[in-house]
Structure 1
């Protein structure tokens, strides 16, 4: 069985029929657990609703750096309230994004730091969005003592040296569709080296669709291609990568597979 550790079923690109079909198709192919991360207040609310409606779906709630303008105390309190719900298992996705010039860096830093502190308060791991901000991400995580709660480096694109620093702070390293791309030498190098107990797989659906479906909208079913590529890179059986990454996700999110009898 597989755990898609980052999938935006709460995206406005999907309607209810899309979501229903994708979940059933994924489950037919043993992708049975999915983390749905928020990126603003509306998407966080939707993640919570999906996690309430579907066994095996879990929510993360948070404010993405590209949506950090206008963050208020009321929003932080709402995140705090959601964090008490049983199917909310992380704060995220949060972090820094220097690719899009939509939010001043000082605002991104403030909102990122506030949410790390909130996560420490509610004792949940954090899901990190890092786009072209590697050094600053590591610095903020260190300064804020994020090692206390740990979390996930979502769709990791940094170096092996950065991966080691993140793992030293109790962060798992998650790989998505880009690890399947022909010229993705750095993600493939890191994916082949990460210790197995720090390894996760994801889709980031509807984005970053893996080969051989690149160019189409991503969906949770396609996490299988990510796991297959990592198994190939490491010279391991696909089923073993499925088992290991699912157990890792269950451990960091403190959940258990509802489809497996104890």
Structure 2
């Protein structure tokens, strides 16, 4: 059976640490061979790198300044990120970063400045970049059109934009990853968007411990999640099952597509 690759999660999240050995074992048993673990601020970049060093065959590290964390950045955050990129020589990616106007009182100009800096760094070293966007598709599209992008393209993680944006984003080099939260029946616009995405640009992700799939799709749960609100990373199986139904293709075919696209975008051989 084709292996599975999680294009975006936060396996270093403190909410998962108590169960991490069991989580990694469950992911292995589920056939998940690789996952990209994304940092969101300076404080967690070291945790991401340590986790990747401890699990080099599975975990691909990525460090970014998330739009929710822009207000907490230090004066030399970009220098720290750049030095890590240079030191790791292609073995670390960029993200999670991007734009968010959904959050309370967003400083969109500060977000744009931080995102442009990270996009430039990814472009300079041709690194994968994982982009977050909520209710800011206009500004994001403008930045992507007017600034250098990595030759390998860029990933729009947990894509929730409109179907109409897909062709333009794909032409700019976008890959699109689908998360389990969007398996909900009411998310029909997202379903339609993924039907329009070129087959060679589709990936799957969990965004664990967030973006929990609907209950009827959940295959794994966390014993420490008393409210059942946390997403187990092995629920990538549920994401594949649900997206295959949405796209009306066989699960085995989607597994192959998503795995091929993952390996095309991410330099797994350097992990």
- The normalised TM-score by structure 1 is 0.91
Structure 1 runs (4+) greater than 3 angstroms displaced: 70-73, 86-89, 213-216
Which residue number corresponds to residue 233 of structure 2? Answer: 220
Structure 1 position 74, deviation (Å): 2.5
Whole-angstrom distance in 1 between the partners of 2:208 and 2:91: 19
SS in 2 for 1:83: helix
Report Cα offsets for 1:158-183 as digits up to 9, x if no partner.
11221221111111011101231111
Which sits farther off after the overlay, 148-157 or 98-107? Answer: 98-107
The correspondence of residues 163-182 of structure 1 with structure 2, limited to 5 A, is 163-182=166-185
Whole-angstrom distance in 1 between the partners of 2:43 and 2:148: 29
Whole-angstrom distance in 2 between the partners of 1:252 and 1:187: 22
Structure 1 position 216, deviation (Å): 3.2
Structure 1 position 146, deviation (Å): 2.0
Which sits farther off after the overlay, 137-146 or 96-105? Answer: 96-105
Structure 1 position 151, deviation (Å): 1.1
Which residue number corresponds to residue 48 of structure 1? Answer: 49
**Is residue 227–residue 241 contact of structure 1 (8 Å, CA) maintained in 2?**
yes
Whole-angstrom distance in 2 between the partners of 1:68 and 1:114: 12
Which residue number corresponds to residue 110 of structure 1? Answer: 113
SS in 1 for 2:76: helix
Structure 1 position 257, deviation (Å): 10
**Is residue 48–residue 88 contact of structure 1 (8 Å, CA) maintained in 2?**
no
The 1:30–1:87 alpha-carbon spacing in structure 2 relative to 1, beyond 3 Å, is: farther
Which sits farther off after the overlay, 141-150 or 92-101? Answer: 141-150
Whole-angstrom distance in 2 between the partners of 1:237 and 1:105: 41
Aligned with 1:195 (options 198, 203, 210): 198
**Is residue 153–residue 173 contact of structure 1 (8 Å, CA) maintained in 2?**
yes
Whole-angstrom distance in 2 between the partners of 1:206 and 1:222: 10
Matched residues, number: 257
Structure 2 gaps of 5+ residues are 222-227
Structure 1 gaps of 5+ residues are none
The 1:231–1:257 alpha-carbon spacing in structure 2 relative to 1, beyond 3 Å, is: farther
The 1:257–1:155 alpha-carbon spacing in structure 2 relative to 1, beyond 3 Å, is: same
The 1:98–1:204 alpha-carbon spacing in structure 2 relative to 1, beyond 3 Å, is: same
Whole-angstrom distance in 2 between the partners of 1:48 and 1:70: 20
**Is residue 90–residue 127 contact of structure 2 (8 Å, CA) maintained in 1?**
no
- The normalised TM-score by structure 2 is 0.88
Report Cα offsets for 1:128-150 as digits up to 9, x if no partner.
00011111111111111226452
Is structure 2 residue 62 aligned with structure 1 residue 60?
yes
Is structure 2 residue 130 aligned with structure 1 residue 127?
yes
The 1:82–1:236 alpha-carbon spacing in structure 2 relative to 1, beyond 3 Å, is: same
Aligned with 1:153 (options 148, 156, 160): 156
